[in-house]
A = this chain, B = another copy of it.
Amino acid sequence: MSEDRRLAVLRAIVEDYVQTREPVGSRVLVERHGLNVSPATIRNDMAALEEAGYIAQPHTSAGRVPTDKGYRLFVDRLSTVKALSAPEKRAIESFLEDAADLDDVVDRSVRLLAQLTQQVAVVQYPSLRHSAMRHLELVPVAERRLLVVIITDTGRVEQRTLEVAETPSDAVVAELRARLNAVATGRRLVELISALEDVPEAFAPVDRPLVRTVIQMIEETLAQEREERIVLAGTANLARGGAMDFPHTLSPVLEALEEQVVLLRLLTEMAEDSMGVAVRIGHETQHEGLLETSFVTTGYGGDGDAVARIGSLGPTRMDYPGTIAAVRAVARYLSRILAG
C-alpha cells in the first residue's frame, strides 16, 4: 500500500472527475490512467483516501468524488503546471495590442480571462493606496462645490465632489492645489496621510477649515473599503454547464457576485502571497453562496508587491492547472502593459 500510488490515485480521480463530471469508479480509473494494478487494489487505496477525507461517494455503489480537502491536496502537491496553448497565447497578444485607457485595459483583461477560463473573471482596479500620485486637481465646479481629482501613475483617475462651507477664492484654491501637488506628486498614496498633516499650517487661519475638509476627503477616498473597485465578466459561463454544476441553483452564487463586498474580502485575504497564485476551494471561501465554488487569484502590476489582483471563479470541480495558468498569464501581460 504505497503512499505514492495513493496520491496518484487521488490525482487520477480529480483529473477524471473534472473531465467527465461523473463519479469515478475503480475500473475506469485503472483503464483510463496508467495504473498497473487491479481495480481491487485501487479499491483499497480509495477506501483509505475516503477514510482520510479526500474523497467521498455520493451514494453507495457510486464512484468517488473529490472533497474540498481532496482538491486542496491536489492543488498543493499533485497538480502540474499546464502551459498555455498557442491560440491562447495569440489571443492574449492580440488583446494587448491596442489598449487606450486604463478602463479599456481592465475591461479587455477581464473579458479575456473569462474567455480563457470559461468562468467568471474578476479584475480589481489598481489600488489607489499602492499607487503613486501623478497629479491632484482641484476644480471649483459650482457654488460651494469643489471637485477633487486624483490621478495615479497607473492611469487611474478618481474623482469626487465635495461640499464646502464657503466658496473659496480662486487664489486659495490655486495655492492649495499647488501645495498639495508639491507634497503629494510622485509619492505613494499610503504615505500620504502623514505627509499631508502639516499642510494646513501653511495657510491663514481663516482658510484652514477648508483645507482640512479637502485633506480629510482625500484621506477618505484612500480609505480601504471605499476605494476598491472591481469588474466582472463571464457570469454567463456559470450557467452554461446546465444544472450539472450547481445542483440547487446558482442564485446564491450570483448574489455573492453582486455583493462585491464578498469578493473584495476574499481578494484582500488572498493578497498575502502577493505575486503568487492563491486558491480558495469550496468552504474555504467562508461564504455560504460560494460553497460549491473555487476562486483562483494572483496579484499584478507591482515589481515586488502587487498593485491589485485578478482572479477566476468557477465550480469547485474546475480545471485547476488550466485556470491557474490562465490567471497567471493574464496577470503577467497586465503587469507588462501597466509598466510600459
Contact = CB atoms under 8 A, between A and B. Distances in A.
Interface string A159-195: 1110000000000000000000000000000000000
A99 interface: no
A139 B147 contact: no
Interface stretch (A30-38, A236-244, A330-338): A236-244
Nearest to A157: B159
A101 B226 CA distance: 13
Contact of A236 (B139, B236, B258): B258
A151 B141 contact: yes
A128 to B, nearest CB: 15
A240 B246 CA distance: 13
Interface residues of A, number: 34
Contacts of A240: 249, 251
Oligomer copy total? 2
A250 interface: yes
A137 interface: yes
A57 interface: no
Contacts of A280: none
Interface string A103-143: 00000000000000000000000000000001101010110
A142 B185 CA distance: 11
A223 interface: no
A184 B262 CA distance: 43
Contacts of A161: 101, 155, 157
Contacts of A151: 139, 141, 147
B258 A239 contact: no
Contacts of A252: 236
B134 A137 contact: no
Interface string A229-267: 000011111111011000001111111011000000000
A149 interface: yes
Interface string A281-293: 0000000000000
Contacts of A135: 139, 141-142, 147
Instruction: Report the 8 A-B pairs with minimum CB-CB distance, sorted nearest first.
Output: A236-B254, A239-B251, A236-B255, A135-B141, A240-B251, A137-B139, A236-B251, A239-B250
Given A237-B251, A239-B251, 10 more contacts: A135-B139, A135-B141, A137-B147, A157-B161, A159-B159, A233-B258, A236-B254, A238-B254, A239-B249, A240-B251
